[in-house]
């Protein structure tokens, strides 16, 4: 019985994404495989919040990309089997049998529904199946705490599901790749969750400890009313908030915020700061160029910013912005980008010094 899985032995991937961004998720994944010399195509429908990537000629696609590497995919899985006409009285036996036939032991099994309208109606069933499945796997000795492989059952309906596999070392550590963050009661806007998630997803543990220390300095461009500023203040980091609009009174009472009513595209600090963050509603290429000027010009050590995407050719626009920024920074910063759960028609980018 195998406890490790050669994730190269597959001709299909299963990707979770945001509803309405299935096309961008597919384009990005297909482009990733093309760079590796493997042709692929996608099976998906708008609104599914799922994308299946299929090898064009049946050859191995290779391992599913690490979840941090794809912008529009929240979770990247190897698709092992699909079941389209399950008996509602016994949905688990075929799945357990498939794992046994594959000779796999898994560290855990998650049952998920896509983050879509149809998936919302399946959440209760997903919880019930997960509660029943794990004890069943233990009885069949298919659970091994040392295994790097996690099984995922992704529901398409009450009788249709996918059995997929994740290498836990490269997979998102949350169901569907969605971290469940609690909205801080004192934060002035829900946009605070975007920056909270960005720090969690785009930085690793050592980077958060090193780059978000009390006493550091930050500039928040387009700050009002202070959702992103709040994340720094909560970490005892001093913030210069740039916005012509009013800031939250409690934030100003913290003594850690200086509010300057200036143009976010014109302002520059007198001394270099540790962070610049930006959530201004503006053309993405213009925001990317602004962040390049801040970093290459020595005004900030690191950055997090949002790129508001157009309605069409969004993947091409993302590549244009990131490629241009990488050229401007001459590879001195590591660029990480993700469409976060708390994003909407946008992606979030972090630029961290190498």
Q: Give catalytic residue positions.
A: 308
Question: CA torsion, points 134, 138, 142, 146, in degrees to nearest 10?
Answer: 90
* Nearest to 13, CA basis, from 79, 80, 60: 79
- Structure tokens that stand for 177 in this block: 């790749």
CA–CA dist 16, 122 (Å, integer): 15
Kind of pairing between the strands at 217-221 and 273-278: parallel
Beta-strand runs (E) in 146-221: 149-155, 161-167, 217-221
- CA 94 to centroid of chain Cα atoms: 31
- Which 8-state DSSP code applies to residue 172? -
CA–CA dist 142, 100 (Å, integer): 7
Kind of pairing between the strands at 40-43 and 50-55: antiparallel
* Nearest to 314, CA basis, from 291, 345, 338, 337: 345
* Nearest to 203, CA basis, from 333, 77, 73, 49: 333
CA–CA dist 239, 252 (Å, integer): 10
In order, the DSSP letters of 49-112 are SEEEEEESSSS---SPPPTTT-SS-SEEEEEEEEESS-BTTBSHHHHHHHHHHHTB-BSEEEEE
Q: 174-208 burial, b for 16+ CB within 10 Å, e for fewer?
A: bbbbbbeeeeeeebbeebbbbbbbbbebbbeeebe
Beta-strand runs (E) in the chain: 12-16, 40-43, 50-55, 75-83, 108-112, 149-155, 161-167, 217-221, 238-242, 257-260, 273-278, 300-308, 333-338, 346-353
């Amino acid at each position: 019985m195998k406890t490790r899985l050669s994730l190269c032995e597959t001709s299909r991937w299963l990707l979770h994404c945001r509803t309405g961004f299935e096309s961008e998720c597919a384009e990005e994944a297909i482009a990733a495989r093309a760079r590796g010399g493997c042709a692929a195509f996608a099976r998906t429908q708008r609104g599914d919040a799922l994308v299946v990537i299929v090898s064009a000629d049946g050859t191995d696609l290779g391992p599913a990309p690490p979840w941090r590497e794809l912008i529009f995919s929240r979770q990247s899985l190897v698709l092992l089997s699909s079941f389209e006409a399950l008996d509602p009285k016994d949905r688990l036996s075929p799945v357990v049998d498939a794992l046994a036939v594959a000779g796999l032991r898994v560290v855990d099994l998650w049952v998920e529904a896509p983050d879509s309208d149809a998936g919302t109606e399946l959440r209760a069933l997903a919880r019930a199946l997960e509660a029943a499945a794990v004890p069943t796997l233990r009885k069949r000795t298919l659970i091994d705490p040392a295994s790097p492989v996690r099984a995922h059952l992704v529901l398409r309906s009450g009788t249709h599901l996918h059995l997929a596999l994740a290498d836990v070392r490269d997979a998102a550590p949350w169901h569907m790749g969605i971290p469940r963050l609690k909205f801080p009661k004192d934060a002035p806007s829900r946009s605070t969750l975007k920056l909270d998630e960005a720090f969690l997803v785009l930085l690793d543990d050592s980077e958060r400890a090193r780059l978000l220390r009390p006493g550091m300095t930050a500039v928040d461009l387009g700050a009002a009313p202070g959702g992103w500023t709040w994340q720094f203040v909560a970490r005892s980091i001093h913030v210069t908030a740039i916005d012509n609009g009013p800031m939250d009174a409690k934030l100003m009472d913290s003594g850690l915020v200086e509010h300057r009513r200036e143009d976010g595209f014109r302002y520059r600090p007198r001394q270099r700061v540790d962070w610049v963050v930006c959530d201004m509603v503006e053309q993405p290429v213009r925001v990317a160029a602004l962040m390049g000027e801040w970093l290459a010009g020595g005004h900030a050590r690191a950055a997090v910013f949002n790129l508001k995407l157009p309605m069409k050719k969004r993947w091409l626009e993302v590549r244009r912005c990131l490629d241009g920024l990488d050229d401007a920074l001459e590879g001195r910063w590591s660029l990480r980008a993700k469409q976060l759960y708390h994003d909407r028609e946008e992606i979030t980018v972090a630029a961290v010094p190498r």
